[in-house]
Chain A
Amino acid sequence: MSKLWGLYVNEMYKLIKKPLVIILIVLIFTSGLLFPALIKFAISFDSEPYIEDKNTIETQLQYYKDEKTKLSSELLAAIDNQDDEYYIEDLKMQIDELETYIFQSELFLELQLFDEPEHVMHDSFIPRALSSLNSLNTDIINLNKVPEEERDDNWAAELDQAGKGYAQLYDSIKNKDFTTYNNYQIEAISAFKSILSSYDAEIHEFSLKLLPVIDPTGGLNGEIDFEAANLVADYASLLKYELDNNVNIKYDMIYGDQSIVLLSEEQRLEKQEEYDILMYKIENKQVATSLPKDSTLISSLSVEFSNFFLSILIFFAAGSIVANEMTTGSIKTLIIAPVRRWKIFTSKFLTLLTLFLVASLVLHVATSLGNNIFFDAKHTAYLFVSDGKVVSIPGIFFGYFYLLADHTLLFVLMLLAFMLSTVSRHSAVGIAIPFALMMVTSWASMMLSSLPIAKARWMDFLYFYNTDLADRLFPMHKFFDLVTYIRISQNIPQNNLPSLSFSVLFVLVLCVCLFYIAFDSFTRRDIK
């Protein structure tokens, strides 16, 4: 073993003595670290969103009022002149619209909403509350327009309810009180229960109860977008309903159809895991970590960018670790040494494995640091269910495991480079072929999936249908971007990939074959 260790140390020493290896590792690190900085610099030229100030709103309000006076005069004249009824209706609509604007502008000024931060006016419950308030205001105006002879008890009850709702919503906006707003919504659902289906009512009710748990501020603290919180709450409610009733509810986004079928056992387990994890995230205030941020995209872009240098490094090392020694003749020093060839081979393989792990770690650390420094990004813990309990892997470790799983293809191609360079004893062959395969893989898989042919059984044996393992080994990674998953992934038809166990077995067999061919060639062939 001591000789194997000595050989391994020697191989590592030879590797770090190669200037190109050092240059590529530095490039991986700097590109991972500085790519987010470049993006930050590029988006710094984006203009700030426009927020209306007090003077503008006052000017607008005056304009709306003047317009309303003008149109009101026109309306009176039109009625007097018994003009075309469509013209009169149009004028009334324009005046109603202006009244809405006037109401909104006055509310803005009254509650001094122009002083609020951008996220309060865009990403909290306030825009929804304002919209509801506006509707209620219109309802009240319309109710007040009802001729006295038509007013009855129902009218009085409706006006009373609208008035109470208005007061509740007004207070919630004025006091930035999400609880009041949410209670109003819950009461509204109860009031309308009679006209809602039990399915809708149950889902909405549970969703509204979840909202304050997800974010008690309703988006006011700027951490969770209120629309995203709604989406998450709705999805959790839908899952609960499906599990409680053992049904699978599917929406067709294109045609708007809804289908309800019984849950299969597999679907039930999958949905149960999703529900458990979602509830765990909600109850442990972790929803914020699962929402899309600039850094999510930047992080994956910087990994992609640095991956280019990583691939060159891995193929260069794997393609030359044996072939270069054969070409320069330095292999003689190793062959003469009192060690069996399998030990030399193993030391070289272990060196490549170390390089693969270390270079991936460098990439992970650099991109994590870069995203943390420039986008304040933090790692999200990975959650999964084991024996009915939610288990968490700390984000910093999970990020690395996920990256390694995402590099399955790179690992297979590294072995291919190693095998080709060992068999051909020419580093050019060992480097060029895997690199070309790397380049055409995404293109080939895209072309095949876009062809109007059914996926045949033999296609399961194409390597690129089996090397994309990261999301399949870590299925709950989809919850790292809940919004996108809920909005899009759910509605994408299931891709027709081979089963996970088939893919893992396929990759293992492929790796063993490549390893064995290289091993056999290295240990048995003469060195002339």
Chain B
Amino acid sequence: MDVALKVDHVSKSFGKKKIIDDVSFELFCGEVFGFLGPNGAGKTTMIKMITGFLSVDQGTIEIDGFNHRSHYEKAMASIGAIVENPELYKDMSAYENLKMYARIHDNVDNSRINEVLDIVGMQDHSREKTRKYSLGMKQRVGLAMAILHRPKLLLLDEPTNGLDPAGIRELRDILKRMAHEENVAIMVSSHQLSEMQLMCDRVGVISYGKLLSVNTLKELTEMKVEESSLRLITPDVVTALSVLPDELKSKIISNTNEYIDFRISKDQINNFLRVLLNRDVTIHGIQSIESTLEDAFLSITGGGLRIE
């Protein structure tokens, strides 16, 4: 498979704080790559370095075989991206925004503009000023801009933000089709694990600036995990919380008046329940609350960080 993106020992610091620490990975044409990590892990910083917003302190980035530093324009010609929220010129329509973007790319004509507007379903609103658009509509136009020049590498930072469920599904289908039918390499950063599960072929997990692992979805779901997340349903939440010893309390992730979520190894489940039953805490049920992918994620990151 062709390598669309090669990140080689890349580091970045803001002041004395290291945000990206010696990260290396490759992205292949025709795959959807999930970039997973909690807030502040360095996902957006990594994308901003690839897209030229931030300089690279150490290491190299190659896009479609072109060095990002020495052949900047050729490298960037292969990239389409949405970084954070898509920002459009508010006094112009979607069509005008795309038209402007087309002027600074080679081989993009009016028919291509109409084509991408059709792809993202914005043809009917393309002549309205974008200041009237909802966040979801802006995301669609942002995607249209990102794919306008038929990039080999598409970078999407939290692309489902603001989209309704139908929109998310539509986006998912578009991205999968682009990757698998048009051989585009797509990198998606998100904290929506369920989305990742449905969309991605491979997933890279990043935490505190370090890339902890890169696995296929299959590898992740088959990963043996030490701890699992459970939900204890009980009307006596207050009593339950007061009777648990400290070492078990530290396993609690969150609680409401009706349940307690906790993350615990299989060996500790008996002990946990015994303590509660001995103190006459009523238990209505116990259930697993997370997907296998999240379990794997938390296992990789050490469980100290939680994503939605």
Contacts and interface: CB of A to CB of B under 8 A. Distances in A.
Question: Are chains A and B native binding partners rather than an unrelated pairing?
Answer: yes
Interface of A: 3, 6-7, 9-10, 13-14, 17-19, 328-341, 524, 526-528
Nearest to A2: B106
A6 B105 CA distance: 9
Contacts of A3: 73, 104
Contacts of B273: none
A328 B92 CA distance: 14
A341 B53 CA distance: 10
Contact of B88 (A18, A330, A334): A330
Given A13-B100, A335-B52, A329 B84 contact: yes
Of A13, A18, A331, A336, which is in contact with the most chain B CB atoms at under 10 Å from its CB? A336
Interface string B86-127: 111111100011001101110000000000000000000000
A7 B53 contact: no
Nearest to B78: A338
B65 to A, nearest CB: 15
Contacts of A7: 103-104
A-B residue pairs, 5 tightest by C-beta: A329-B87, A6-B103, A338-B76, A338-B77, A527-B53
A528 B101 contact: no
A329 B83 CA distance: 10
Contacts of A338: 72-77, 79, 104-105
Contacts of A339: 73, 76, 104
B103 A528 contact: no
Interface residues of B, number: 34
A338 B80 CA distance: 10
Contacts of A331: 87
A196 B249 CA distance: 120
A395 B145 CA distance: 50
Nearest to B129: A17
A335 B104 contact: no
A320 to B, nearest CB: 13
Given A13-B100, A332-B86, 20 more contacts: A3-B73, A3-B104, A6-B103, A7-B104, A17-B91, A17-B92, A18-B91, A332-B53, A332-B84, A332-B87, A333-B87, A333-B97, A336-B79, A337-B76, A338-B105, A524-B55, A527-B53, A527-B54, A528-B53, A528-B54
Given A10-B103, A10-B104, A340-B73, A335 B91 contact: no
A331 B85 CA distance: 12
A19 B88 CA distance: 17
A215 to B, nearest CB: 58
24 contacts: A14-B89, A18-B91, A328-B90, A330-B87, A330-B88, A330-B89, A332-B53, A332-B86, A333-B97, A333-B145, A335-B52, A335-B53, A336-B51, A336-B81, A338-B75, A338-B76, A338-B79, A339-B73, A339-B76, A339-B104, A524-B55, A526-B53, A527-B54, A528-B48
